[in-house]
Structure 1
Amino acid sequence: MPSPHNILVVGPSWVGDMVMAQSLFITLKQRLPDCHIDVLAPAWSLPLLARMPQVRQGIAMPLGHGQFGLGARFGLGRQLRGRYDQAIVLPNSWKSGLVPFFAGIPLRTGYLGELRWGLLNDARRLDKNQLTMTVQRFVALGLPAANEQPPTYPIPQLAISAEQRRQVSDKFRIDAGKKILALCPGAEYGPAKRWPAEHFAAVANAKIGEGWQVWLFGSDKDRPVADTIVNLTGGVCRNFAGETSLAEAVDLLSLADAVISNDSGLMHVAAALDKKIVAVYGSSDPGFTPPLNPAAHILTLKLECSPCFKRDCPFGHTRCLVDLRPEQVLAALEAER
């Protein structure tokens, strides 16, 4: 195989999955120290990839999530011809295997997914009973097919420079004199993954009373719930939801002393920043997509009806989240790492 080994990874479309993909990148560099890793991914993810030292460059996918765009995929594949020895395709969709195929990359690795024989010439069958975690499934694709399963996986570690911290601090006029609690009250998947705003506010008020500052993070879609929390805390919290780029949110989170989050992309970011984190789980399974940091505190009530993996509670009560009290989160926050 040529050296250095040039690898194109077709990346996932979600923030949390992209953070977990760093475990694959680290594994590849451990196996092939001289390899170069490029990642084909949505444009929003490029700043995140830039904070992963294992990645040489991110290549923006010109199509949005769910778009087919055969002509665009063919054109991109032709542009990438002759540049790579291997492609590793993380999404399971048929269309995600087209660019490496059109690029003529000699070794194309991925799970069989949507019957991708031909598109992939190193097509592997996914045994969900052996590979129970998303990160295991990603890492296994960076290892020989005969490797013992499930594989061990390294912990993602985002690298934020002192200059990046200085720039974001200057831009947002950060007060470095008080401890910072970051709250991530959103979850893209749906309400059944979102701890109640009133509970977040109760935790925020408790920490504000101890002299902490509280910051809220999320996208434009999370602005309403973040605004609710701000109102319930008398306008004291600083609301960054919808006010930052992803890169700025990552760099700001690197300044936090502790993070409380739903099962969301920002939860995985906080874990990869080695923050003291309390992760609240409702409809999702912490065994499948946990924060990849052994020091993280995971809170879940393990009710008979959860995890249900639904966007909305099928019973209309969301007890898996409502019954998880602020006092429990505060106790986890105070526990030793």
Structure 2
Amino acid sequence: MTDSTPHILVIGPAWVGDMVMAQSLFMTLKQTRNNPLIDVVAPAWSLPLLARMPEVNQGIALPVKHKELGLARRWKLGRSLRRIGYDQAIVVPRSYKAALVPWFARIPRRTGYRGEMRYGTINDMRLLDKAVLFQTVQRYVALGREGNATQAPAIPGPSLQIDAKNQQTLLHRFGLDTDKPVIAMMPGAEYGPAKRWPTDYFTELARRLVERGKQIWVLGSAKEVELGEQIAEVDGVTNLCGKTELVDVVDLLALCDQAVSNDSGLMHVACASGTKVIAIYGSSDPAYTPPLSDTAQIVYKHLACSPCFKRTCPLGHTHCLKMIKPDDVADLIE
């Protein structure tokens, strides 16, 4: 690195899928800004994920909880970052509090979208034209470009580094092998039940795939343990929900032949791990947050009531998901 190498601080998003999509921004900055050093302020849980992104110089833990103002802690972090001498900050979230750390750090150029009265804290203010930047990832990448976007930018697909040694450790720890084709299933969705394909549909799909000579690994957090247990009633299914760290899931997904997932953070992780993904959409819009992979397949019924973007179905029937049958997904499995 030379003295002319830009040093950029990015204030990252707070959700798994959004953090994966933010890698497209980091990649764009590397390609267009003279190979800058990129540091990312983000929730502590995301630092191991950021370590799998070669574009990121370092992750810096944000010492506040989600939705918490934590003014004193933001000020302390910002003050500690003054010595680094960043050239620019890019604030991905549109909240007022997200812009405070770069302001406290006295970073001369602070880029972000207009929102929540951020005048002053953001001095490189961008207007968000949702007709031009329809996708979430487009909005992230556009912040790495100059000026207001007049057309949607090119999107480099996220690609997470895989730890082969950790893969072998995980296979040994859980008694797994890849002798049979592996299909990952991710039945959870943190946002709410209107994004979750029925668990009994996952179970029926698992039964049919095992009959075809596949094995199933169910992946998710501790919140999905019960969902995984239901699917694991089928012989040939291993429930790993709650037993792994997020980066372990990255490495396990890279060993899978395909993955079946709701529109969730792990769907984006699966795409970035190089796995072929079948993405199931209900209340959300695949045009807005698509799987960022050339090999992904989308299952979506295009009902008049969908997308509603609600956490629970406002009509009480969740037809947008229930009309997607196990046979529909089974036919897409190679």
- Bin for the TM-score computed over the shorter chain: over 0.9
Mapped partners of 2:166, 2:5: distance in 1 = 30
Cα RMSD (Å): 1.4
Determine the structure 2 residue equivalent to 1:173: 175
Contact 1:180 1:212 in 2 (8 A): yes
Q: What is the letter of the counterpart of residue 181 of structure 1? A: I
Mapped partners of 1:43, 1:149: distance in 2 = 34
Contact 1:134 1:288 in 2 (8 A): yes
Contact 1:112 1:123 in 2 (8 A): yes
Determine the structure 1 residue equivalent to 2:254: 254
Relative to 1, partners in 2 of residues 1:2 and 1:108: Cα closer, same or farther, differing over 3 Å? farther
Contact 1:82 1:104 in 2 (8 A): no
Q: What is the letter of the counterpart of residue 311 of structure 1? A: R
Give 3-state SS (helix, strand or coil) of 1:329's partner. Answer: helix
Mapped partners of 1:34, 1:220: distance in 2 = 39
Map residues 149-228 of structure 1 onto 2, 5 A cutoff. 149-228=151-230
Determine the structure 2 residue equivalent to 1:38: 39
Q: Following TM superposition, by how much is the alpha carbon of 1:39 offset from its aligned partner in structure 2, in angstroms?
A: 0.6
Give 3-state SS (helix, strand or coil) of 1:75's partner. Answer: helix
Contact 2:6 2:34 in 1 (8 A): no
Contact 1:262 1:279 in 2 (8 A): yes
Give 3-state SS (helix, strand or coil) of 2:57's partner. Answer: strand
Note if 1:125 corresponds to 2:122. Answer: no
Q: What is the letter of the counterpart of residue 316 of structure 2? A: G
Q: What is the letter of the counterpart of residue 278 of structure 1? A: I
Q: TM-score, normalised by structure 1?
A: 0.96
Cα-to-partner distance string for 1:154-197 (whole Å, 9 max, x where unaligned): 11111113223223333333212121110000000111000011
Determine the structure 2 residue equivalent to 1:331: 331
Map residues 38-117 of structure 1 onto 2, 5 A cutoff. 38-83=39-84, 84-117=86-119
Which stretch shifts more, 313-322 or 146-155?
146-155
Percent identical residues: 53
Q: TM-score, normalised by structure 2?
A: 0.96
Q: Following TM superposition, by how much is the alpha carbon of 1:85 offset from its aligned partner in structure 2, in angstroms?
A: 0.8
Mapped partners of 1:166, 1:6: distance in 2 = 36
Contact 1:82 1:105 in 2 (8 A): no
Map residues 227-266 of structure 1 onto 2, 5 A cutoff. 227-231=229-233, 233-234=234-235, 236-266=236-266
Mapped partners of 1:76, 1:36: distance in 2 = 19
Give 3-state SS (helix, strand or coil) of 1:16's partner. Answer: helix
Give 3-state SS (helix, strand or coil) of 2:26's partner. Answer: helix
**Structure 2: any 5+ residue segments left out of the alignment?**
none
Note if 1:273 corresponds to 2:270. Answer: no
Mapped partners of 1:206, 1:108: distance in 2 = 53
Q: Following TM superposition, by how much is the alpha carbon of 1:82 offset from its aligned partner in structure 2, in angstroms?
A: 3.4
Give 3-state SS (helix, strand or coil) of 1:81's partner. Answer: helix
Mapped partners of 1:172, 1:146: distance in 2 = 50
Mapped partners of 2:178, 2:237: distance in 1 = 15
Q: Following TM superposition, by how much is the alpha carbon of 1:237 offset from its aligned partner in structure 2, in angstroms?
A: 1.1
Q: What is the letter of the counterpart of residue 48 of structure 1? A: L
Note if 1:282 corresponds to 2:254. Answer: no
Q: Following TM superposition, by how much is the alpha carbon of 1:201 offset from its aligned partner in structure 2, in angstroms?
A: 1.0
Give 3-state SS (helix, strand or coil) of 1:55's partner. Answer: coil
Q: What is the letter of the counterpart of residue 52 of structure 2? A: R
Give 3-state SS (helix, strand or coil) of 1:87's partner. Answer: strand
Runs of 4+ that moved beyond 4 A? none
Q: Following TM superposition, by how much is the alpha carbon of 1:148 offset from its aligned partner in structure 2, in angstroms?
A: 4.2
Q: Following TM superposition, by how much is the alpha carbon of 1:212 offset from its aligned partner in structure 2, in angstroms?
A: 1.5
Mapped partners of 2:207, 2:103: distance in 1 = 54
Mapped partners of 2:72, 2:257: distance in 1 = 47
How many equivalent residue pairs? 332
**Structure 1: any 5+ residue segments left out of the alignment?**
none
Cα-to-partner distance string for 1:272-323 (whole Å, 9 max, x where unaligned): 1121110000000001101001221001000010001111111111011011
Give 3-state SS (helix, strand or coil) of 1:65's partner. Answer: coil
Give 3-state SS (helix, strand or coil) of 2:185's partner. Answer: strand
Q: Following TM superposition, by how much is the alpha carbon of 1:247 offset from its aligned partner in structure 2, in angstroms?
A: 1.3
Cα-to-partner distance string for 1:103-156 (whole Å, 9 max, x where unaligned): 001110010121211001101111111100000000000000155421111111
Mapped partners of 1:3, 1:167: distance in 2 = 42
Note if 1:6 corresponds to 2:22. Answer: no
Determine the structure 1 residue equivalent to 2:147: 145
Contact 1:29 1:35 in 2 (8 A): yes
